[in-house]
Amino acid sequence: MKIAFFSTKPYDKIWFEPMGKEYGFEIHFYEMAFQEETITLAGGFDAVCIFVNDYVNAKMVQQLYEMGVRAILLRSAGFNHVDVKAAEGKLCILRVPSYSPEAVAEFAIGVILTVNRYTHKAYNRTRDFNMSLIGLMGVDLYWKTAGIVGTGKIGQAMIRICRGFGMEILAYDPYPNRNLDGKYVPLEQLMQESDLISLHCPLTAETRHIVNRSTIDHMKQGVYLVNTSRGALIDTDALIDGLVAGKFGGVGLDVYEEEEGIFYEDKSGEIMRDENLARLMTFPNVLITSHMGFFTREAMEAIARVTLENAYALENGLPLANKVDAESL
């Protein structure tokens, strides 16, 4: 199988190059993102392998189909960046449903600890021998209430960590888990009663802007919010207004609504033209990272292994356990 691999970073090759050879695949690595302007590079390949900030719209689906491309291999669990309905009967879409739930959950709690206890600011201060504690006071997580939105594998891992901090757990998911170590409540109640809200749900039409002006208005004063899932779960304009109003104790964002073309790239020598992102960076109680919650050795190895296992199953007519179709929406 010939695979065109897009949005390549050096760390991708560490695992995909040797594993690809083991499977006998011919992988061509491209640094550029997969989009309408680069789709011609997919000509002559059996599959394209894309990441979270690439996209495939209906027009591109048809183009790929006419090129003879058989499959879209996603290096992610989410598939909101692909027009799944348009691909029905034309392209096989295969994803990585789970790679390291603990990696994302551990990162989420790390972000909260950082933004709550200001360890990033303390580090910068002490490097200059400024040992003042003024402006660095946080709050205990012990006995606070954590609201977990989405109780898949990552949400469950987050619950286990929060339990370790002695937190009470409220959870929301339209598909409850009977064995969950927590109490399911309506979303409105979770937003109103939680001291910490952590988002771990996929981006769908129903969850887009699940955090909006109304939900923010009903949150506790001083609430902490962390999003390690998908940027568009949060209405950025509403979030900024809430920050200006002093609603939040702290906000941790590993994802951003308009991150495409910005995250995973070095923009330090450029003027940031995304005004909302630039504004978010000005708040002292906001921590933004570049969609790196998944980024551990274990997760990267699992992503490579499952992605190539998906390709092998397709090539050899084996069951496609990780196929995405219209029923997945």
Query: What is the set of active-site residues?
Result: 230, 259, 291
Look at residues 277, 300, 303 and name the one whose alpha carbon lies nearest to residue 289. Answer: 277
Long-range contacts, 40-43 (Cβ 8 Å, 24+):
41/4, 41/6, 42/4, 42/67, 42/69, 43/67
Q: For residue 47, list its beta bridge partners.
A: 3, 71
Q: What share of the chain is helix, strand, coil (3-state, %, to 5)?
A: 35, 15, 45
Q: How far is CA 175 from CA 14, 80, 81, in A?
A: 37, 19, 23
Alpha-carbon distance of 45 to 68, in angstroms, equals 8
What's the gap between Cα 329 and its chain centre? Answer: 17
**Rounded CA separation 58/82 (Å):** 8
Alpha helices in 138-186 (DSSP H): 153-164
Q: Give me the helices (H) in the chain, please.
A: 10-23, 58-67, 84-87, 101-117, 119-127, 153-164, 187-193, 213-218, 236-244, 275-280, 297-315
* Count of residues in the chain: 329
Query: Does residue 126 contact residue 104 with C-beta atoms inside 8 Å?
Result: no
- What is d(CA 16, CA 27) in angstroms, rounded to the nearest whole number? 8
Please choose, from the candidates 60, 63, 94, the residue with its C-alpha nearest in 3D space to the C-alpha of residue 77: 94
- Which segments of 160-200 are extended strands (E)? 168-172, 183-184, 196-199
